[in-house]
């Protein structure tokens, strides 16, 4: 079992399979994109499977596949199957922008994926194109339906709060949760890599609007959940709030992260990483990989240093590499 110096049990591994993405979201990267890592620097699927196996042997039970955009990497469905077949993996999820889900959701579910988080910051086509610099909203909405039909559960919609978000756009997401069995979570924007720190919007305004809904009540989450979730009578889905800046949830953090290029991170916002790729490719055995995981747990900070307003130093790398 992995435990950090503050008594937290580490049983959740987030694995980035690529730094590439088919969108260009304004808070993630500039219009021209970012310099991509050479393919030779990206961990192979075999290396990732070895990493997950070792992590599971140390007590990891939940795995989430991230990117970049994980569905742009060739062979991701067979990779999902291989992860799902590892004894001890009890919960396998993915975070995606949803553009490829219309043609892949059923295959992913059949391969063993259980749940999916879909990044979607507006349901207005013009605003979506402005935020992502791509006209892909119809594909994402189709992808949400495909995920639900495939039996992926829960389907969570991650909404980053941005300056200029209209009250009516929040209403759009309330309507989505009313009509569809999805969990819509409103998330504070975090200063990561090349994303500027200006533009921070607290979740407090949306929280007040949720609490004003008739009959709303707070739902129970797992002890390590970052979200506060609300149930509303008559809603097919749920609403949630994630406040990494204004209301830290670090005290319950149970995560480690593997970046696409083989760095092991103990904190999303931390600048210090461990060279997993060097160990994997250096001819060393699984014991060395396990030692690296133990070291990551031992050096996990008590919490991040973001302050209210999001003006603390950000992580050194863009989100597409960190694999948030």
Backbone phi, psi, residue 82, to 5°? -65, -40
* pLDDT at residue 309, rounded to an integer: 43
Q: Is 190 exposed, middle or buried (0-12, 13-18, 19+ CB in 10 A)?
A: buried
* pLDDT at residue 280, rounded to an integer: 98
Alpha-carbon radius of gyration of the chain = 19
Give residue limits of the domains in the chain: 2-322
* pLDDT at residue 241, rounded to an integer: 96
CA angle at 12 for the pair 72 and 93, rounded to the nearest 5°: 40
pTM for the full model? 0.91
* pLDDT at residue 120, rounded to an integer: 97
- Encode pLDDT of 201-237 as tens digits: 889 999 999 999 999 999 987 656 788 999 999 999 9
* pLDDT at residue 222, rounded to an integer: 66
- What is the fold, at CATH topology level, of the domain defined by 2-322? TIM Barrel (3.20.20)
* pLDDT at residue 204, rounded to an integer: 92
What are the Cα distances from residue 188, in Å, to 80, 118, 154? 29, 16, 21
Q: Please, which residues bridge with residue 155 across strands? A: 116
Which residue is listed with tokens 């690529």?
18
* pLDDT at residue 29, rounded to an integer: 82
* pLDDT at residue 312, rounded to an integer: 43
* pLDDT at residue 199, rounded to an integer: 64
* Spans of the chain below 50 pLDDT: 194-197, 307-315
């Amino acid at each position: 079992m992995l435990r950090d110096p503050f008594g937290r049990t580490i049983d959740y591994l987030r694995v980035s399979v690529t730094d590439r993405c088919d969108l260009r979201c304004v808070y993630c990267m500039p219009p021209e994109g970012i310099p991509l890592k050479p393919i030779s620097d990206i961990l192979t699927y075999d290396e990732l499977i070895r990493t997950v196996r070792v992590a599971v042997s140390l007590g990891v039970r939940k795995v989430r596949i991230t990117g970049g955009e994980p569905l742009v990497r060739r062979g991701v469905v067979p990779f999902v199957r291989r992860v799902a077949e590892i004894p001890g993996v009890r919960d396998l999820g993915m975070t995606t922008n949803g553009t490829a889900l219309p043609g892949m959701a059923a295959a992913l579910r059949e391969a063993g994926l259980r749940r999916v988080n879909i990044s979607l910051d507006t349901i207005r086509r013009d605003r979506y194109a402005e935020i992502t610099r791509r006209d892909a909203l119809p594909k994402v909405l189709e992808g949400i339906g495909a995920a639900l039909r495939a039996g992926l559960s829960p389907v969570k919609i991650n909404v980053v709060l941005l300056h200029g978000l209209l009250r009516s756009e929040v209403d759009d997401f309330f309507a989505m949760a009313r009509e569809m069995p999805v969990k819509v979570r409103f998330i504070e924007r975090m200063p990561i890599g090349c994303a500027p720190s200006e533009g921070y919007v607290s979740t407090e305004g949306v929280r007040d609007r949720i609490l004003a809904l008739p009959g709303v009540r707070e739902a129970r989450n797992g002890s390590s959940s970052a979200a506060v979730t609300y149930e509303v009578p008559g809603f097919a889905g749920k609403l949630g709030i994630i406040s990494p800046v204004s209301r830290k949830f670090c005290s319950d953090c149970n995560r480690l992260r593997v970046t696409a290029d083989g760095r092991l991170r103990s904190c999303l916002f931390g600048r210090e990483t461990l060279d997993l790729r060097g160990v994997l490719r250096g001819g060393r055995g699984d014991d060395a990989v396990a030692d690296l995981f133990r070291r990551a747990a031992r050096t996990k900070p008590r919490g991040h240093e973001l302050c209210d307003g999001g003006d603390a130093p950000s992580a050194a790398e863009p989100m597409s590499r960190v694999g948030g």
